[in-house]
Amino acid sequence: MKKTELLAPAGDKAALISAIANGADAVYFGLDIFNARIRAENFTLENVEEQINLCHAHGVKAYVTLNTQLYNKELPLMLEYVGKLYEKGIDALIVADFGVASLIKRYYPDFEIHASTQASVHNKNGAELLNKELGFSRVVLARELDKGSIEYISNSDEYETEIFVHGAHCMSVSGQCLASFCMGGRSGNRGECAQPCRLPYSIGKEKGYPLSLKDMSLSTHIEEILNSGTASLKIEGRMKSSTYVGGTVKIWRELLGKKRSANKQELSTLGALFSRGGFTDGYFTGNINKTMLGVRSDKDKEASLLQEKEVIELDKEGICLSAELYIGKKSKLTLTYMEKSVTAYGDVVERANNAPMSYEDVKKNLIKFGSTPFYVQDLDIKMDEEIIIKNSSLNALRRASIQMLFETGRKAKEITLEKPKADTSLGKIKTAIFESIEQIPENSDYFDIVFISAEEYFCSQSDKSRVNGIALPPVVLDKEWSEVEKMMSYAQYEGIKYALVSNIGQIERVKKFGFEIIADFRFNIFNSYTLEFLNGLNIKRAIVSPELSLAQLRDFKNQSIIAYGKLPVMVTHKCVLKDTVGCKAGKGYLKDRQGAMLYTRCEFGHRNVIYNSVPIYMADKIKDIENYSHHFIFSDESASEAYKIIEAYKKGQPANTGIKRIK
Ligand SMILES: [Zn+2]
């Protein structure tokens, strides 16, 4: 069996060194752009080579996170970055954007890519499709999965899986969070998350932190995770200190080596390094309840301050050096490290007229490995007597040989990127999703497609004649397919034509029922290549990301945009209502510090969708969005309110309440 990889975060150089010194098998870090932790002190393209070489010299793999959604205009620069990282020998890129992934594979087919947790993979179909269609060799699974789901998805010969085993939890399923974008304009999908889930909210009479999850730790489930079939165990924390990284990696290395769970002392050390009132394993074990919640208290912060800040220096790796310096011949230097041997040639050695160099003179220059990860363990210098060669020549020879040791043999390409051709056959349509049949107003014939959730369609006893589309739940676990397929089968029998699909792992399943697929905004379409990829899967129409500005929308002519409605800002795997006001009604309101009311609805599988407090409203700005298809989201509006909104869009009326604009 392959060794399970321990993968550590490296937000800065000190953390990188701590991770290596304490036994990480691989590290991941971001560069100063295109990564989901842009507040961390990131590495740059200029200094990344040094970090890669450092990792490789110590037998550690280095992955770079390229895990944000990118706009069309950023893609040429992205490809330049990718080319340089390829050349410098990064072992894999961690990618969230399907368009970005398709471009990387188009130009660098042998560059290994891993699907970021931001790609929202939570079932086997998702992992398989990303592997087959985009060439992802590894998939980082959603943090919400339980042990059984992890085992099921990990059982594959085609791809490997990676799971988070320690560190922060997001309240929303990753890649499905618009909260930070909606509440302050900082996009989580673009690496700018302001963590609104850590703020206080009240619900009913309860005040507290119903969206703040404790950090996870699976350190008490070592045997189970080692037997789960996953290839890599990831520690979260690119924003965290080197003390945290070093201390956490050290304990995890020990546990994995001994195949045993953490004891009390180790758990307390892990907690002191960083926790939010202790740890949770709720998603892994399936014990999803309010004990999963926690905030970082003063006591937690004090405990972290007491942790010793070690200044760690890495031990140097021994290397074999042999040199040949013969008069009239080119100087020659061979380095051997692990399985690799390289030979560099330098200036010609000359006969000294007077003051020839001694063996010691030569040695002094050749063993200067000061700033490198190496020291010379075995030295073999063969030389004529009476030679002379400049010190600078010897230095150059040494540097050239070290350079060769890190040579990857890969070359960046010159790439001229052209935008994919838009599908001009696509007409403009109007679509809407309603929460219930009762909510659908008389004037719903304004829409070409009226969606309700597959579950509502299946369960409702009301007259469904106005409905011609079903919407899949945002998350469907493998074990839930039988239930969802039952719903789809019924809808197919009833003559439903369209399906609004939320996730990469739903496409194959939905196709079997013959529905025409429309990709929901949850696919995070930020660029034309993501759309092109979906087109290639025979999905012609999609609702592009609501994060796009009017200017950025121009590349998506006739495609759908959300023209009205409260945006779903989170999908939570844990029912917020159940643990607070109770989930009998299946709906409620979270109130934020400013008094804004966030409609919260319990859906399929007790997952919640939390909506923004104000709707997107463009009725009086319809000219701005006339080149696109329009999608309306109705959440807590009554049927009569929905009726008025549709009339307002027909007549171009301004709104009379708080709204959000597409800017
Ligand atoms: Zn619920």
Using the mean position of ligand 1's atoms as its centre, give its distance from the Cα of residue 242 in Å.
39
| Ligand 1 geometric centre to CA of 212 (Å) | 17
Residues with CB under 5 A from ligand 1 (ion): 575, 578, 583, 602, 606
Q: How do residues 575-626 score in pLDDT, each as one tens digit?
A: 999 988 899 999 999 999 999 999 999 999 999 999 999 999 999 999 999 9
- Of 434, 530, 470, the C-alpha closest to 175 is 530
308 confidence band (pLDDT: 50, 70, 90): confident
Question: How far is ligand 1, taken at its centre, from the CA of residue 570, in Å?
Answer: 14
The Å distance, Cα 475 to ligand 1 centre, comes to 14
Given pLDDT bands bounded at 50, 70 and 90, which one contains residue 38? low
Question: Does the pLDDT at position 71 exceed 70?
Answer: yes
Q: 490 phi and psi, to 5 degrees?
A: -65, -45
Pick the CATH number of 5-168+214-263 from 2.60.120.380, 3.30.830.10, 3.20.20.70, 3.30.450.20: 3.20.20.70
- Length of the chain, in residues: 663
| Å from CA of 330 to ligand 1 middle | 76
**C-alpha 230 to ligand 1 mean position (Å):** 30
Q: What is the pLDDT of residues 376-416, one digit of tens each?
A: 999 999 999 999 999 999 999 999 999 999 999 999 999 99
Let me know: does 113 contact 93? Beta carbons within 8 Å.
yes
594 CB-near residues (< 8 Å, 6+ apart):
none
Give kind and range of the element (H or E) at residue 532.
helix 528-536
**pTM (predicted TM-score):** 0.95
pLDDT in the model for residue 125: 98
> How far is the C-alpha of 336 from the C-alpha of 456, rounded, in Å?
67
Rounded to the nearest whole angstrom, what is the distance from the C-alpha of residue 631 to the centroid of ligand 1?
27
- Between the CA of 400 and the centroid of ligand 1 the distance, in Å, is 63
Centre of ligand 1 to C-alpha 576, Å, is 7
pLDDT at 418 over 90: no
Domain boundaries, the chain: 5-168+214-263, 317-405, 430-651
How many angstroms is it from 635 CA to the middle of ligand 1?
Answer: 16
- Between the CA of 575 and the centroid of ligand 1 the distance, in Å, is 5
Rounded Cα distance, 371 and 364, in Å: 15
pLDDT at 498 over 80: yes
Closest CA to 629 of 438, 509, 498, 460: 498
pLDDT at 385: 92
pLDDT at 40: 54
Contact indicator for 598, 591 with CB cutoff of 8 Å: yes
Centre of ligand 1 to C-alpha 607, Å, is: 6
Tell me which of 1.10.600, 2.60.40, 3.20.170, 3.20.20 is the CATH number of domain 430-651.
Answer: 3.20.20
Placement of tokens 């497609």 in the chain: 449
Instruction: Quote the ligand 1 centre to 487 CA distance (angstroms).
Output: 19
Write out the two tokens for 130. Answer: 């990303």
Ligand 1 midpoint to CA 608 (Å): 7
Measured in angstroms, how far is the CA atom of residue 147 from the centroid of ligand 1? 22
- How remote is the CA of residue 154 from the centroid of ligand 1, in Å? 28
Fold agreement (5-168+214-263, 430-651): yes
> In angstroms, rounded to a whole number, what is the distance separating the alpha carbons of residues 254 and 243?
17
Q: Residue 556 above 90 pLDDT?
A: yes
Tokens linked to 71: 């706009």
> From CA 80, how far away is CA 60, in angstroms rounded?
25
Share of the chain above pLDDT 70, in %: 99
